[in-house]
Structure 1
Amino acid sequence: MMPPRAITLSDGRQVHVAKDEDHLLRLQRTHTGDEFNFTVHGSTDHVSALNDSKKYHETLKDDLRKRHPDIFEEMERLQDQMDEISNDLHTLTEHDVHLEANFGKFGYSANLRTHLPSQRKHEKETSTTIRIWKRPVIRQYFHKGLLWRASENEEVASFELFVDLLYVGILAVIGDRSSEEPSAKAFMRFCITMIPSYKLWNDVGLMVSWFESDDVVQRVIILFILACLFGYTTNIFLSETITYTQMIAFYLTARLFTAAALVWGALLVPMVRATLYGNTIAIIIPSAIWIGSIYVEEPNKLALIWVAIFLDLALPSLLVMSMRGLPLIPKKWSEGLTKLFEFYPALNIEHKTERMGAFVSLVFGYSVVALLYQNTAEFGINAFLGKALLGLIQAYCFNTIYFDIDGSGHELHAIRRKVWSSFLWVNAHLLFVLGFTIAGAGLSKLVLAHDCQDTNVENLYITYEEKSFEAVEDALRWFYCGGLAAALLSMAGISLSHLHKDIYTQKISKKYRLAYRFAVCIVWLCLPAARDHLNSLHLISITTGMTISVVALEIYGTSCKGDDMFGAKKSCPYICDAELQKRESDGISLETAVDPEKNAEHPKGEYTLKDIYVDVQ
């Protein structure tokens, strides 16, 4: 057993340091007769030996400076530079919570720093119990072009998943009711009810991403917003009802309650007070227009509704542009805004993308669940099942495009790339949710249509038999095809917002792959015009086939020239040219490789996994 690292003294002796008394006795027994000096870590002898060794090495350093002054100064300069680089690496890896993993997935940012939340600098946690109330702390914020983010990883909270569970029902209700009587008015009302619910979901994610508290008060705030959202969903007005007032009342209650929470946060966290007050104003202005829409009759009501929706979506973006400095305003005003918004909160890129991915998964889940029906035939393989399976394949392909193609291989994520790309990424998701939800609602009705062969309505359970129909309405075709086109177009926008890694050996560049998506969208928008030649099975088959072609083109196009698309055709080789090493530690020996020079049976070269052995005794 080799002794630990030695300390060289001024008289030439070497002292080896044992970690404790037991280790010292074990080393003394092992090295009996050897000329080794031992001491215990942290003892007086250890400190004395270190001081003596320090003086000895300083003497050697001074002697080297006298004999080779030029070389010594050059080495000193290089050592200082290496120390600076080592400190930067330490900051980016140890102190800054493994930012190399963040850069690897979302792209490098030279303006990223981390901070330790002020409430935890001198706080010693003694319990993991959820507190009634904690003073909120900003997780991440911008200051003079630098992004300062909390040194702790932000994980998805359990109550955020609970919010998603509620949205499963919301998507089902809004989607199903919009497709009951498909028409232009039903589609318009679908958008009017879907966008505010999406806005409430975004508010919850924004508050959780901005403030670090995770106390009972925060959970009660989230619960209250969910209760309002629940009441909002039970009063959607997709048909001619008198529940519009109740629906807007629940929506405004949640929004104004959020505004009150932001004002409270501004009082507790004055550093970002201007931003929180600005977001409060961005909530109050459209809320006044929403209230006005209650007392106005159609069609003037619709004008106020769409103005309120536009302001709900546009004012937060305008506020962000003001924080970063508007390019078209006078310089004096721009400097004033910059000073006012010297600190402003930022979104955590990992949390935002994970939450958005979860919401997209909900949309995919709704479209698949909506395809389910009950069969009563003895052998239920028929056109009903065929259309449902085609819809399943279609949703699976969209899932692959979003997560595995557009969601990977980033040189820079849209949020980190530019302001315009961040806005495009956020708004494209809203278009995708609207498009794929309405397409899923239309697809659920097309599956039950008996306008093609092998669609006997008697094979359906009575509940679904009542929903089956023979003639597919034009509006339903537009719901399905137009929704799919909008969803694929928004995916192209999401992909365009990212800066993907540009590999010069790729078979097909990104711009040509996106051009094909645009062409597919145009074809889908033209399909409803061929209503006399395409039944429901033809319609679903064409859209599914073209979706598969998009995935196939992406897989082929993102591969590089010379790549084997079917993997290795023989066993995977491993390079083995290491020498035989034997390490002893507390009686355990490890043979990690084969010495090619000492063992002729294992020459240097390539080996399969079965040729390499690890012997643990």
Structure 2
Amino acid sequence: MKSWLQPPRLRIGEENEGEHRNATWLEHFYDLVYVVAVSQLAHNLSENVSLTGFLGFVVLFLPIWWAWIGTTLYANRFDSDEIAHRLLMGVQMLAIAALAVNVPHGLGESSDGFALAYAAARTILVIKYLWAGWHISQARGLTTHYARGFAIAASLWLISAFVPMPWRFVLWGIGLAIDFATPLTATRLQTGLMPHLQHLPERFGLFTIFVLGEAIIAVVSGVAEQDWGDQSAIAAAFGFGIAFSLWWVYFQNISGSALRTARASGRIQVFNVWLYGHLPLVIGLAATGVGVEHVILSEAESALPDAERWLLCGSVALCFLSLGILHRTGVIRYCKLRTKHRLGTVAALLALAIAGTNLLPVTVIAIVSIVCATQVLLDLYQSSSALA
């Protein structure tokens, strides 16, 4: 039988360099609550397709994404499969489930519950870091720094639950700023404790996959909610094409090379770009699914409303902007040409959002899908030319 209190162990460093690591079954199970949370966020945005709706979507997305990041980075460095760790993960899952439950009115009547749930999830993470630091002396500086920063942020979220709006949201902002700044102010402490080169890209890839899944759900839901016809079938096919192209462009270029470079050179900034650079990407992917669904559900013979057109074009543009930055900084395959391709796509999509006022829904989604597919073809052409 597994020990209840088997101490955490360091899963990174030279002695673990050759260890083959994949996400554990517990991590896969843990991700399920985030699938639900992202789905709730997407539903929220779907109910209010507007600038304020999108901003509210982002505000609630940030703490949910950061909660996943916190647990993922802890597991990357200190994962242990003992019973106490499993139980703490289970309690964290309950906290994230509570976050998801409170998402529909997370900026209104349920904002206190949302704050309490986030504070609970982060408090458990603080306990984990203190426990790891107690047993792993070489990581104690980093774990203490993380525990201190995350504890202060969690305290602000806890206090915010008992503070009236809008001051509640002011405390949220300060708390998130401290959360996000804590790893950035630990550069020296992280230098000798770089993440595992195989495990982390896989975890980020898995999160990207289930966020992309929202686009697939959107295609199915959009078609299921209306009579099957030529227009809806064509729009659905183009919607799937958008998701498929985004998957291709990201996963064709992802690797652990940036982390290897960061470890070899001691440039922790590369890792930080990896970490924070994925945020606009996953926000864009989640919002893209909502945009696709609304296009499919729009009146086929009428011009696509401005809000829906901007949501689809803007979300996909945000994805490619993020990909362009990740290319340019070497987080994914370093390539100046592909950076230009991605940024050119951003310009084309924004032009469509601005100038596509009188276009039918199927026309808009067709253009977006073709623009995305063009990125795949350009990558394939460049790769084949390099091999020639």
TM-score by length of 2: 0.90
1:335-354 to 2 correspondences below 5 Å: 345-354=193-202
Q: Return the alpha-carbon distance in structure 2 between the equivalents of residues 163 and 228 of structure 1.
A: 11
| Cα distance change, pair 451–212 in 1 and its aligned pair in 2 (3 A) | closer
8 Å Cα contact 2:118-2:157 kept in structure 1: no
Q: Return the alpha-carbon distance in structure 1 between the equivalents of residues 195 and 243 of structure 2.
A: 29
Q: Return the alpha-carbon distance in structure 2 between the equivalents of residues 156 and 500 of structure 1.
A: 20
8 Å Cα contact 2:280-2:322 kept in structure 1: yes
SS at match of 1:514: helix
Matched with 2:313 is: 481
Query: In the TM superposition, what is the alpha-carbon distance from 1:301 to its structure 2 partner?
Result: 4.3
Q: Return the alpha-carbon distance in structure 2 between the equivalents of residues 293 and 478 of structure 1.
A: 33
Q: Is 1:235 aligned to 2:235, yes or no? A: no
| Cα distance change, pair 398–167 in 1 and its aligned pair in 2 (3 A) | same
Q: Return the alpha-carbon distance in structure 1 between the equivalents of residues 255 and 107 of structure 2.
A: 45
8 Å Cα contact 1:368-1:395 kept in structure 2: yes
Query: In the TM superposition, what is the alpha-carbon distance from 1:236 to its structure 2 partner?
Result: 1.2
Q: Is 1:138 aligned to 2:10, yes or no? A: yes
Query: In the TM superposition, what is the alpha-carbon distance from 1:319 to its structure 2 partner?
Result: 1.2
Among 491, 495, 499, which residue is 2:327 paired with? 495
1:90-489 to 2 correspondences below 5 Å: 130-141=2-13, 147-149=14-16, 152-238=19-105, 241-321=108-188, 323-324=190-191, 345-372=193-220, 373-374=223-224, 380-404=228-252, 406-407=253-254, 413=260, 415-416=262-263, 418-452=267-301, 472-489=304-321
1:565-588 residue CA offsets vs partner (Å, 9 max, x unmatched)? xxxxxxxxxxxxxxxxxxxxxxxx
Query: In the TM superposition, what is the alpha-carbon distance from 1:450 to its structure 2 partner?
Result: 1.2
Among 531, 545, 557, which residue is 2:370 paired with? 545
Counterpart amino acid of residue 254 in structure 2: G
Query: In the TM superposition, what is the alpha-carbon distance from 1:345 to its structure 2 partner?
Result: 3.4
Greater strand share, 1 or 2? 1
Counterpart amino acid of residue 407 in structure 1: I
Q: Return the alpha-carbon distance in structure 2 between the equivalents of residues 562 and 254 of structure 1.
A: 48
Q: Return the alpha-carbon distance in structure 2 between the equivalents of residues 414 and 184 of structure 1.
A: 39
Give 5+ residue unaligned stretches, structure 2: none
Query: In the TM superposition, what is the alpha-carbon distance from 1:489 to its structure 2 partner?
Result: 1.1
What is the percent sequence identity of the aligned residues?
A: 22
SS at match of 1:235: helix
Q: Return the alpha-carbon distance in structure 1 between the equivalents of residues 72 and 284 of structure 2.
A: 22
Among 523, 526, 544, which residue is 2:348 paired with? 523
| Cα distance change, pair 419–239 in 1 and its aligned pair in 2 (3 A) | closer
Aligned residues between the structures: 384
8 Å Cα contact 1:139-1:210 kept in structure 2: yes
8 Å Cα contact 2:303-2:357 kept in structure 1: no
Larger radius of gyration: 1
Q: Return the alpha-carbon distance in structure 1 between the equivalents of residues 7 and 107 of structure 2.
A: 47
Counterpart amino acid of residue 134 in structure 1: Q
Q: Return the alpha-carbon distance in structure 1 between the equivalents of residues 83 and 240 of structure 2.
A: 41
Greater helix share, 1 or 2? 2
Query: In the TM superposition, what is the alpha-carbon distance from 1:541 to its structure 2 partner?
Result: 1.0
Q: Return the alpha-carbon distance in structure 1 between the equivalents of residues 193 and 81 of structure 2.
A: 17
Query: In the TM superposition, what is the alpha-carbon distance from 1:207 to its structure 2 partner?
Result: 2.4
| Cα distance change, pair 133–289 in 1 and its aligned pair in 2 (3 A) | closer
8 Å Cα contact 1:414-1:497 kept in structure 2: no
Q: Return the alpha-carbon distance in structure 1 between the equivalents of residues 256 and 31 of structure 2.
A: 27
Q: Return the alpha-carbon distance in structure 2 between the equivalents of residues 134 and 365 of structure 1.
A: 36
- Structure number with greater CO (CA < 8 Å, separation at least 6) is 2
1:359-381 residue CA offsets vs partner (Å, 9 max, x unmatched)? 1111111211121132775xx44
Q: Return the alpha-carbon distance in structure 2 between the equivalents of residues 434 and 214 of structure 1.
A: 31
Q: Return the alpha-carbon distance in structure 2 between the equivalents of residues 533 and 351 of structure 1.
A: 47
Q: Return the alpha-carbon distance in structure 2 between the equivalents of residues 419 and 429 of structure 1.
A: 16
Query: In the TM superposition, what is the alpha-carbon distance from 1:411 to its structure 2 partner?
Result: 8.5
8 Å Cα contact 1:414-1:499 kept in structure 2: no
TM-score by length of 1: 0.58
1:233-283 residue CA offsets vs partner (Å, 9 max, x unmatched)? 101155763100001101101101211221122222233212111101110
Counterpart amino acid of residue 286 in structure 1: A
Q: Return the alpha-carbon distance in structure 1 between the equivalents of residues 142 and 386 of structure 2.
A: 50
| Cα distance change, pair 499–528 in 1 and its aligned pair in 2 (3 A) | closer
SS at match of 1:140: coil
Query: In the TM superposition, what is the alpha-carbon distance from 1:167 to its structure 2 partner?
Result: 2.2
| Cα distance change, pair 374–345 in 1 and its aligned pair in 2 (3 A) | same
Give 5+ residue unaligned stretches, structure 1: 1-128, 142-146, 325-343, 453-469, 503-509, 564-617
